[in-house]
C-alpha cells in the first residue's frame, strides 16, 4: 500500500483531532516524533515521543479558555505540510482575549509525521498572556 502524501497526512491528522481520535493520530506519527514549541513560551521546548501531540494539546489548552482555531489553509510539497491557522483565546491568567496567526510545519517521511514546528506570529503576546510555566508541568519524553 502506498504511503500517505503530506496533504493526506494533514487531512487525516485534522480529521482525527476533530473527532478526538488520538489512536488515529498515533497511527500516522513516527515513534521518534518531536514537536518544537518556541522556547520562550511556558509550554515551549521539544515534546518528544509518538504521543507528543496527545500530551501537548491539553497542556497548551490549560493556559486558555474559549479557544477557537480557524484553519486558513494547508500548503504542501513532497516532504512537508504547513497549516496556516489563527488562534483566538482568553488568557486564564489575565482574562484578556487575544488572537494570533500561526504556521505549523510538519516534516513527513515514508507516510508518517516525524517533526512538527510551531511558529506564532506574536510569540511575545502569547508568552505574556500565558504567564509562567505551571508548577509540575513537564515534557515527558517517550
pLDDT in tens, the chain (142 residues): 679 999 999 999 999 999 999 999 999 999 999 999 999 999 999 999 999 989 998 899 999 999 999 999 999 999 999 999 999 999 999 999 999 999 999 999 999 999 999 999 999 999 999 999 876 454 444 4
CA–CA–CA angle 139, 141, 142 (5° rounding): 140
List the chain domain ranges. 6-130
What SS3 state is found at 73? Answer: strand
pLDDT of residue 135: 60
Torsion, CA 6, CA 11, CA 15, CA 20, rounded to 10: 20
* Lookup: cell for 2: 502506498
pLDDT of residue 101: 97
* Lookup: cell for 83: 497549516
pLDDT of residue 134: 72
CATH of 6-130, one of 3.30.450.30, 3.40.190.120, 3.10.450.50, 2.40.50.140: 3.10.450.50
pTM score, two decimals?
0.88
Amino acid at each position: 500500500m502506498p504511503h500517505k502524501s503530506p496533504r493526506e497526512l494533514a487531512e487525516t491528522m485534522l480529521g482525527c483531532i476533530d473527532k478526538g481520535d488520538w489512536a488515529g493520530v498515533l497511527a500516522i506519527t513516527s515513534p521518534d516524533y518531536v514537536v518544537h514549541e518556541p522556547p520562550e513560551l511556558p509550554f515551549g521546548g521539544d515534546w518528544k515521543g509518538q504521543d507528543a501531540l496527545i500530551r501537548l494539546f491539553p497542556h497548551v489548552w490549560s493556559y486558555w479558555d474559549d479557544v477557537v482555531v480557524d484553519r486558513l489553509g494547508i500548503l504542501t510539497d513532497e516532504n512537508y505540510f504547513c497549516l496556516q491557522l489563527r488562534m483566538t483565546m482568553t488568557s486564564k491568567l489575565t482574562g484578556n482575549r487575544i488572537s494570533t496567526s500561526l504556521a505549523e510545519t510538519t516534516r513527513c517521511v515514508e507516510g508518517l509525521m516525524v517533526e512538527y514546528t510551531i511558529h506564532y506570529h506574536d510569540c511575545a503576546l502569547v508568552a505574556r498572556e500565558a504567564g509562567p510555566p505551571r508548577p509540575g508541568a513537564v515534557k515527558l519524553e517517550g
